[in-house]
Chains A and B, each alone.
Chain A
């Protein structure tokens, strides 16, 4: 186990609704990155949070937003859900101080939009 926990593990939402996913980072890590993984694909980078601020964003629309809290836990919010948002959402925690450090992934939240 990595010490990174995500909740909930599974979620079913209706198109147009909003969803919040949560991630508790590994102890000692100050950076959280979020990824979207469609079935049969590699994880795609959504954004990263460091010291409670967004620190880089992938090719995702503004309806994907996030937060990081003082204890380094994080939330991913998705508004106006679309069918294509159905995927496994992964968070990964790491230590930001330098590049080339490993990221530890949580188990993911499986989101299904119907």
Chain B
């Protein structure tokens, strides 16, 4: 079952904040977040695990509510480089990911 992301699109000015949500109808064991710029490969941002562990490579924060089967990605003090499409992915098993439909983020000067 594909996770559902909201909003579908958001436009920000530089320095503004945004929250992207991801929810699933199935129990989540981990949530993966990726960002994809137009014409490029998806780039890993973060994994959130049951129990609160997080693994990430960028200064981006996120939360994972196991009971509600939801995750949220927090983008603070946005920069132009944050523009792109953000995908959450739920892990079925051993690295197999089911991705949401994406949230398109545009940061304007």
Give min CB distance, B40 to chain A, whole Å.
7
Known contacts A48-B96, A102-B55, A108 near B41 by CB under 8 Å: yes
What is the interface residue range for chain B against chain A? 20 to 34
Number of residues from A at the complex interface, CB < 8 A:
29
Q: Does B62 make an interface contact (CB < 8 A)?
A: no
Give min CB distance, B106 to chain A, whole Å.
15
CB-CB contacts below 8 Å: A26-58 with B: 31, 33, 35, 40-45, 48, 50, 55-56, 58
A45-87 vs B, Cβ < 8 Å mask (1 yes, 0 no): 1001010000110100000000000000000000000000000
Cross-chain contact of B41 among A44, A56, A105 (Cβ < 8 A) = A105
Interface residues of A (CB under 8 A from B): 2, 4, 31, 33, 35, 40-45, 48, 50, 55-56, 58, 90, 94, 96, 99-108
Interface residues of B (CB under 8 A from A): 2, 29-30, 32, 34, 40-44, 47, 49, 55, 57, 87, 89, 91-102
